[in-house]
Amino acid sequence: EGALDPLVGSAAERVVLSDQVAAAKWGTGSPIEDPEREQQVLDGVAARAVELGLDPEEAKRVFRDQIEASKLVQRGLHAHWSAHPDEQPTERPDLGEIRPELDRLGEAILVVLRDTDDLREGASCPGLLVSAYAHSAHDLDALHQTALGRAVPLICS
Ligand SMILES: C=C(O[C@@H]1C=C(C(=O)O)C=C[C@H]1O)C(=O)O
């Protein structure tokens, strides 16, 4: 497995978990975008980055992309479900149970960001990133591949 596979794999897990977020919000009138929760996520990321010895601004930049990727999935699924009512979710997951899972994935992403700090500055990073993307995207449909592409462009610093 390549050196960036764990990092891109965790970003892919976050993108896939966003399906549950989309289902939690579907039919409730809750907007996909929740700026207050985004700010909480980013504040938590910055604080944890400092503890881990990561540049908090860099960590926040990476997580702004994770958030955009999640909203891309949610918007894509809501559009799909509007057009294909037979594929709408039949159960509504509890957002309050999904967000702690997003937080756990966020922690995993921060730890692997720290573990790959030197590697991500090196000349080999773009090649490793493409290879990790290919491995993770293999199992994803087009929407989730697009979202994963949105999630990882700032990984090589
Ligand atoms: C994932 C959610 O949807 C959006 C994306 C967020 C994220 O990726 O962390 C946070 C808030 C929302 O703007 C959510 O509401 O939890």
User: Does the structure show a pLDDT above 90 at 157?
Assistant: no
93-142 confidence digits (pLDDT tens): 999 999 999 999 999 999 999 999 999 999 999 999 999 999 999 999 99
Q: List, in order, residues 6 or more apart from 3 with CB less than 8 Å away.
A: 116, 119, 128, 132
Rounded Cα distance between 60 and 49, Å, is: 9
Mean pLDDT for the chain overall: 98
With vertex at residue 55, the alpha carbon angle to CA 59 and CA 6, rounded to the nearest 5 degrees, is 50
User: Does the structure show a pLDDT above 90 at 1?
Assistant: no
Q: pTM, whole model, 2 decimals?
A: 0.97
Residue 79 exposed, middle or buried by CB count within 10 Å (0-12, 13-18, 19+): exposed
For ligand 1, atom 16, which residue shows the shortest CA distance? 99
User: Does the structure show a pLDDT above 90 at 65?
Assistant: yes
Atom index in ligand 1 nearest the CA of residue 41 equals: 9
**150 pocket-lining for ligand 1 (C-beta < 6 Å):** no
pLDDT at residue number 90: 96
**64 pocket-lining for ligand 1 (C-beta < 6 Å):** no
Is this complex scored with an ipTM above 0.90?
yes
| Helix, strand and coil percent figures for the chain, each rounded to 5 | 75, 0, 25
Helix (H) / strand (E) containing 119 = helix 117-121
Rounded Cα distance between 155 and 86, Å, is: 38
**101 pocket-lining for ligand 1 (C-beta < 6 Å):** no
Structural domains for the chain: 5-27+34-151 (1.20.59.10)
User: Does the structure show a pLDDT above 90 at 18?
Assistant: yes
